[in-house]
Structure 1
Amino acid sequence: MTNDRDADYGALSPDEQTAMREAWRERVAARIAQLDYAARFEEAGESYSSADADGNVVIHNAGAARQ
C-alpha cells in the first residue's frame, strides 16, 4: 500500500482499499475518543443534553452547578 496521501483511492487494489478503510476507521475512532464536549460546555458555563443508557434525554445545566 502506498503512503502517498494524494494517491487515488480508486487506483488501489481491493486489499489496499480494505487496509486504507481500516486505517481511516482507526484514525477517526482515535479522534472521537479525544473529544470531550461535556468539559467544553461546562467550562463555558453552557447547558447541554445527552442520552442516558435507556435513550432518555438528560439536560445538564452547567450554569446551575456554579451557583
Structure 2
Amino acid sequence: MNWDQIQGNWTQFKGKLREQYGELTDDEIEEAKGDREQLIGKIQAKYGKTKEQAKKEVDNFVDSI
C-alpha cells in the first residue's frame, strides 16, 4: 500500500492507527488527515522518538498493511 492509497482510505486507516498507536487520541489522528509528515510529527511528539525513528515506524507500518 502506498501513501496515496492511505490518504484515499483515511477513514479505514484510522482504525489501524488506533490499534498500533494507542496513545494517539482520535483528535490527533483526525488532525493528520492523511498527511504523512503530520502523522510522523504526532508520533514523534507523543512517543518521544526522533523524526527518523518515527518515519521508519510509519514506513514499516504502511508496509505491513
Larger Rg: 1
Q: Specify which structure has the bigger relative contact order, considering alpha-carbon pairs within 8 angstroms and separated by 6 or more residues.
A: 2
Structure 1 and Structure 2 fold alike (TM over 0.5): no
- Which is helix-richer, 1 or 2? 2
Structure 2 length normalisation: TM-score?
0.26
- Give the structure-1-normalised TM-score: 0.25
